[in-house]
Each structure stands twice: as structure tokens, then as C-alpha cells.
Structure 1
Amino acid sequence: MMIKEYVMKALDVYTRAKHDLSNQLQMITSYLELEEYDKAKDSGAKWMTVIREEQKLFQLPWPNFLEAVIDHKTRSQNYSWRFEVNTSGDCVSDTFITKQFNCWMDFIHHISATGRQLIEIELYDDQDALEVCFILSGGNYTDIQGNDAFDWELSESILTAKFKINR
């Protein structure tokens, strides 16, 4: 990637992040102006949860995975994102988890949707493995069939791809 393209991509990411933050602050300000303090407090608490989970994600020792997440998040406007991170990421291959994530994203990009969908990434340590869940919701997935890359839980409105990485 040329330097100019890199700078433009970085600027785009920065601009979108500022826009999201501005929208959230505007919502909180509106609630305060309407003296709806509980709604303002709830909105602020939800936004702080989102920020904390993203911070935990970006502290993982997986630079390739993080780059892939950022790349997909900034290129894919059809999705909202949620992260739940309960792992340090130690003893897990960055290359492997990145490959799995890209495989899953390639799979879901072929699913047509009428509205905005939610992508959730859940990462949990258990006693001897890292449990990974990639979840897509917000569409109608009645006719979707999983592939052999993951253990699938499929319902009309939620697709979940799960796998474990042994330590």
C-alpha cells in the first residue's frame, strides 16, 4: 500500500471514530437537555462498555487479527460490531485466529441482508483452551448452511460459528 493510500485509510478510520463518538455525545446531551437523566446515564454506561471491550480487544497480542478486524470494520458499513473479550490471548497463534476470522468474514459477506446486521466477536479462556465465537444477527438466515470450518449454531435470526484453540 502506498503511503498516500495508508494515510487516507487512517484518516477515514479516525473520521468514522470521531463521528461515532460525536453521535453518542449528542445523544447524551439531548437526554440531559430533556432532563431524562436515567436515559443519559444508561447511554453513557453503554458507550463506556463498548469502549472498554474495544480496549481489551486492542490489548491482545495478535497484531494481524487486530488489523483484520479494523480493516473489516472500516470497510463494511452494513454491520455494527460488539466485542466481548475475556482472555489475555497468550499461547494462541495470531496467524490461526486471523485465518479463521477472515474465513468467517468471507462466508458472511455472501449473505444478503435487508438491513444493518450485528457482528459479535466473543473470546473466552476456559481451563485448557480459548473459546471463540463469531456471531452474526439481524438478518433472516433460514436458508443459510454452515461450512466445515466451524461448529455452527444456526437459527432464523442468528448465525454462530464456534471453535476452540487448545493451549
Structure 2
Amino acid sequence: MNQNLQPLRHEDFDLFFQIMEQSFPSVEVRPRDHEYDLLNEDAFTLWARYDAANRFLEGFIAEWAFRDFLFIEHFAVAPKLRGKGIGGQMLKAYLRQADRPVLLEVEEPETELAERRIQFYRRNGFMLSSFGYVQPDLRRTGDRIRLRLMQYPQALSESEFQQRKAAIFHLVYKRVM
């Protein structure tokens, strides 16, 4: 069954955070209280997919809405449900409701897992940019991750990349470039 995406219920925050910690390196995950505070940000939405009975959180998409683009900061499916097509269904549903271009970050294609992620997004219409940056450490440990942007439905020009990078760093990472 293809369940719709809906805003995460606040009472399911701990389930969301558990999936987040199981799905991303710690350097890419804010401390729990900082992540919870994002629920009060006007530009931030946690889109959730629940099971058919609307009880179990199957996955989520963490979105930042900018004036002229949407930014997916995190996207994950519960570990025990991976490989069943849920991620593709979620992404397709998300892109159907998107009213502007969508950006997301991927790690450099230097590992098999990173390459598989890039191929997943390509199959869903995203294009890998040649532009990238070093993501600030969300836990402030000093660790850094080199990332590249992918955009849907069309590629970024260098000037668009610079503009969107500055906006992401300002709103999402609270850093000035």
C-alpha cells in the first residue's frame, strides 16, 4: 500500500530520532534536543510515512523550505523495512507534492554505499552536481564530511549553486559563508 506523507506527530519524535541515529553517521545528526527544537522552525518540516494502520513510523523526510527551492536534509526508512521499495515510494510522493526544485546532499561517490545512494536518487530524477562543499559538523566535534548536491528536476548552474549553498549554510547550519 502507498501511504501518503504527513507531518510527523510530535509524540513520534523519539521513533524518528531512533531511525535517524541508525541511518546516519553521528557527525550528520544534531544532538536530540537541538533536533527537537527544529520542530518549532517555520521553514522545517518532518514528513513522515506511517504504516497502513497509521501506527508505525516507516520513514521520514526532513525538509527545509526556501523561497525558490526545497532542501532535503535527511531521508531515511526504518532499517527493518529497507529494500522493500518504501524509500522510492516516499520520494516519489514527496516529489509529487513539491512545488519548487528539490536539493539534497550526498557523500562523494567514493564508497559502494555512497554510489548506491547516488544511483537511487538518479533513478528518481535527480542530477548529481559537480559542485560540493564540506558540511559543518552538527555535533561540533570538528569532524567534517565532503558532500555534493543533487537537484531535481534539473541541474544547477554554478551561480545557482553558490546562492543555494549560502542559503543552506545560513538557515540549516547557522553558519555564514
* Shorter-chain TM-score range: under 0.3
Higher relative contact order (CA 8 A, sep 6+): 2
TM-score by length of 1: 0.27
> Which protein has the bigger strand share?
2
TM-score by length of 2: 0.26
Find the structure with the greater CA-based Rg.
1
